[in-house]
């Protein structure tokens, strides 16, 4: 079971949109996908159509050890895509975790108990911070997907993110790799978007995926309907871009067969 964390401590850069739509694209290509919503705001849970009333067990239970991942995972209306939802308890988790044993490894421990063969890939949607929740995601993951918004300050904060990755590698998870950086919310009518995309490529080189996610209103409308954009309108430019990004991403992952073996 591969584990990917979608992380960037900035809010509003497209982490949740990327989690949901990459998850859906992987599920559509036959993979069994688990999305773990690790953001107290619960946008991934809402965007996947799981109402608050239906969120009983959550990622909080995984962290504190009060439920197993098999118990907390719920089916969504996307075939082959399950969710561990987020509940408001999660907003206190960063403080509660401090007193627990192996506080940075709680999610890792929970995911290690997943029934063999139940999921091919876990995608963890991180909150907009570099606190203990994101550290848990990075300690549990083997790879990171980093969305960067095509705006003036895109690269600002990246050095802080890279420092955190180094710290996690040194202390908790030497295997952690950056799978890639995805440029999001690209506006082709805005020359700044193009400039930022060029700058980011100049700075990060091959880490940056070729596929760019455009600014597309369908991507922002879909969550209010409780379905991924890929289902809401699979032909919009945003959905097409996420299909392209997912193909690229699959190419960078170890082969599923090899991993499952
Ligand atoms: P994060 O999880 O990093 O905070 P989100 O994925 O929630 O970011 O995106 C922030 C907001 O922007 C949401 O309202 C989302 O629907 C919208 N959004 C995300 N990606 C796009 C895009 N490519 N085009 C238009 N709107 C987008
Ligand atoms: Mg989010």
**Per-residue model confidence (pLDDT) at position 156:** 86
Q: Cα–Cα distance between 80 and 83 in angstroms, integer?
A: 10
Q: How confident is the model at residue 261 (pLDDT cuts 50, 70, 90)?
A: very low
Name the residue with the closest Cα to ligand 1, atom 1: 12
Ligand 1 site, residue 16, Cβ cutoff 6 A: yes
Provide φ and ψ at 26, rounded to 5°.
Answer: -65, -40
Sheet holding 143-149, edge to edge: 74-75, 81-84, 33-37, 121-125, 2-6, 143-149, 177-184
Average pLDDT, the chain: 95
Taking the whole predicted model, whether its pTM rises above 0.90 is answered as yes
Which protein residue has the closest C-alpha to ligand 1 atom 16? 220
Atom of ligand 1 nearest to the CA of 238: 23
Show the tokens assigned to 113: 């108990």
Strand positions, DSSP E, 104-255 = 121-125, 143-149, 177-184
DSSP assigned state of 146? E
pLDDT of residue 155: 86
What is the complex's ipTM, to 2 decimals? 0.99
The answer to whether residues 86 and 39 touch, using CB atoms and an 8 Å cutoff, is yes
- Is residue 107 within 8 A of residue 137, CB to CB? The reply is yes
146: left (phi over 0), alpha (psi -120 to 50) or beta: beta
Residue-wise pLDDT tens digits, 170-207: 999 999 999 999 999 999 999 999 999 999 999 999 99
The class of domain 2-252 in CATH terms is alpha beta
Residue nearest atom 6 of ligand 1, based on CA coordinates: 14
8 A C-beta contact, residue 83 and residue 125? no
Determine if ligand 1 sits within 6 Å of the CB of residue 220: yes
pLDDT digits (tens, 9 = 90+) for 67-115: 999 999 999 999 999 999 999 999 999 999 999 999 999 999 999 999 9
């Amino acid at each position: 079971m591969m584990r990917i964390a979608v992380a960037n401590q900035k809010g509003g850069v497209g982490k949740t949109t990327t989690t949901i739509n990459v998850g859906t694209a992987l599920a559509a290509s036959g993979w069994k996908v688990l999305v773990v919503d690790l953001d107290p705001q619960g946008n991934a849970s809402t965007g996947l159509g799981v109402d608050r009333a239906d969120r009983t067990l959550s990622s909080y239970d995984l962290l504190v050890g009060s439920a197993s991942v098999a118990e907390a995972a719920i089916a969504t209306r996307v075939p082959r895509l399950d969710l561990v939802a987020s509940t408001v308890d999660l907003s206190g988790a960063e403080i509660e975790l401090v007193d627990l044993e192996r506080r940075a490894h709680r999610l890792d421990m929970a995911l290690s108990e997943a029934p063999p063969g139940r999921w091919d890939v876990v995608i963890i949607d991180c909150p907009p911070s570099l606190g203990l929740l994101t550290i848990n995601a990075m300690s549990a993951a083997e790879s990171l997907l980093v969305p960067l918004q095509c705006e003036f300050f895109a690269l600002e904060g990246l050095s802080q993110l890279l420092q955190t990755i180094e710290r996690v590698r040194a202390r908790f998870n030497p295997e952690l790799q950056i799978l890639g950086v995805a440029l999001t919310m690209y506006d082709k009518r805005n020359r700044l978007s193009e400039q930022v995309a060029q700058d980011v490529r100049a700075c990060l080189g091959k880490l940056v995926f070729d596929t760019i996610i455009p600014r597309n209103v369908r991507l922002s409308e879909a969550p209010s309907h409780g379905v991924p954009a890929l289902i809401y309108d699979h032909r919009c430019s945003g959905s097409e871009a996420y299909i392209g990004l997912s193909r690229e991403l699959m190419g960078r992952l170890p082969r599923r067969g090899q991993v499952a073996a």
